[in-house]
Structure 1
Amino acid sequence: MRGATRNQTQGLCHANVMLSSSLKILQVNLNRSGPATESALQTAIELRADLIVVQEPWVIRDNTRSIAHQSFTQILPLSNGLRPRTLVYLSKAFRPLVSLATTSPKDPDLLVVDIQEGSTKIQLLNVYNKADQVREGLRTLDRCLLRRHLSSNTWDQLAQESPGADQLIEWLERHNLELLNSPGTGTFFRPNLARESVLDLSFATPPVANRIQDWQVLSDLGSDHNGILFSISGTNRVWVDNPAQPTNFNTRLANWEYFTTSLQSNKAQSENQLGVLEDNTLTIALLDMAASELTDAITRAAKASTLSIKSGARSKPWWNNDLKSLRKTII
């Protein structure tokens, strides 16, 4: 959720019904800096953030990803061949399902993400509001956002130059969006400025805004933009399993002899289903049933013979306290 009326970024969240799970979000413009990216990733580990919502990420030459981290996966906008200027890092320990929304446009400056738990969903819009990179079109607000209809469960991040501010204000009022920023709290600073500017804004529809907690600004991330950190409280019901995060097994420590024995035993118990593979009149339904039985047999054998790997936030092995101190000086 970033937003303002200059060259930067915006975030917006909307939902009719809230998730049962709480989530913590760090948003930051990283100014295409690799060191600032590493700093933000480590900060997210220390603060136990579930999502890092990034504008102006550092990306590799083919524009397919940013800096990798063992505790996060990356969600980028749909590619149109241009450098992505929005990105979301997702903690692998976060339980609800997070995915690129089907309504996310093929535009590097607008990334729409669905956060879903069971039948409940909220939507995140990550916007970098600037003229398109080939300079043939409008700014992101005009070409992508102002014509977009929002449901009541939306969270948005934005920043933009002052031209077109009236249109933005009209759009915000039409969707009943609430500004989350603390009045007067700056989000952007350079040594030649007399004081911090407010370039990065956060908006949310009322159901989400009512559950926002601890909105705050973080300095010393290594970018000329401060980070923004806040939490969205859930309804605290029982966790649901995320089908995108199946159990991982530590195969390096597996007891392969016991795995083989266990698999043969489980396979023997499933002979009725697996026996259909020898039938010459197979149907798709029978094949699916046999595949499911075989998968279950392998999973049971793996659980019996192999330790699982627990997902959790881990620092990179080379990160130390000296780097934590030095990151304050990398701007």
Structure 2
Amino acid sequence: MYHRRGVLAFARRRRRWLIYAGAAAGAVLIYRHPAVAAHRRRLARLAAALASLADAAAAVAADLAAFLRSDSDAVPQTLKQISKLAASPEATASASALSGAVATGVLRGYASAAAAPSSGGEVALSDRVLEKMLSPSGERLASAAAGSFGRELVLSFYSTPSQPSTDSTAATWVDLLTTRKSQRAIRSWVEVFTATAVGVFIDKTIHINTYDQLFVAATNPAYDARLQELFVALCNASVETLVKTSHSVLSNANSPGGNDSVTGTCGSNGGVCERWVETVSSALAVPSNRKLVLDLTGKATFEAVRSFLEFVLWKLHAGVRAGGDATVGAGLRALRYTSERSIIIATICIALCLHVLNGTWLAVPS
């Protein structure tokens, strides 16, 4: 009996050890599998890259802190290498792609939000954000955030310990930014950002005709009076400037006194007037200029005559309307007076008739 139990226990232990050996062999095979090995190598490379990036960031931060706290004018090598990296074509291409993707995403999101059908008087997102920012609470929040940011920036700038020296931190930063490599990097960033922004704007607005929108807005009846006032003010200012400039040139050219009239100037400086007349005559002798002057003169004369006739007709219409209204009012008053008098006379006649009839029946004998 005891021998049998010992055999069963040994068999059970042997089976367990076999299972453990098989699991270990399977784990070794899985560990040495090519796919698992490739994943393991990728994870190892990622960990090494993260460690290298952390080391580089720590080195740059340490060099930058040491440079800002020191009195030396020599820029650390790490910052020089970063400026070289920023000025490289790969970095500019990456910045261009990133800014283009951001601008495209913003424009697509705004276009989709604007094109979405609004139901129940729903307000657009930009209008809601602007309304919230312009509200009293939004203004207080924005002013508090801006004030806190500025205060903390100034406090952190002046709380940095610095030793007395002739060169300050601001001057050091200016010297760093005015180097040739920094200027090249900043120029590249500005060019890439501007080119990307202008390209995206042109791509999104290439189907819009700005001149059509301007003409549609100018021909809007709601802006008719304002546009007329604007054009009249512009024309008045242009004509006034032209007259003043011409008078000043004609009266002050080669003249010791600046208050001579045009006639006196022409009398005393005949050469100036002759040269001016020759210049105007030579300019008007060109066929295109002559045609332009004739067209402008014809249009100005036509508009003046049309405006005068419109004014005269308007006055005549107003007078005729006023006279017609007065005549109609007088006729209505006369008709009302006549009707009132006729009603009174008719009432008197009816009363007399009734009185006569009443008296006649009383006179008849029974």
Q: Which TM-score applies when normalising by structure 1?
A: 0.17
Bigger helix fraction: 2
Bigger strand fraction: 1
- Larger radius of gyration, structure 1 or 2? 2
Q: Which TM-score applies when normalising by structure 2?
A: 0.16
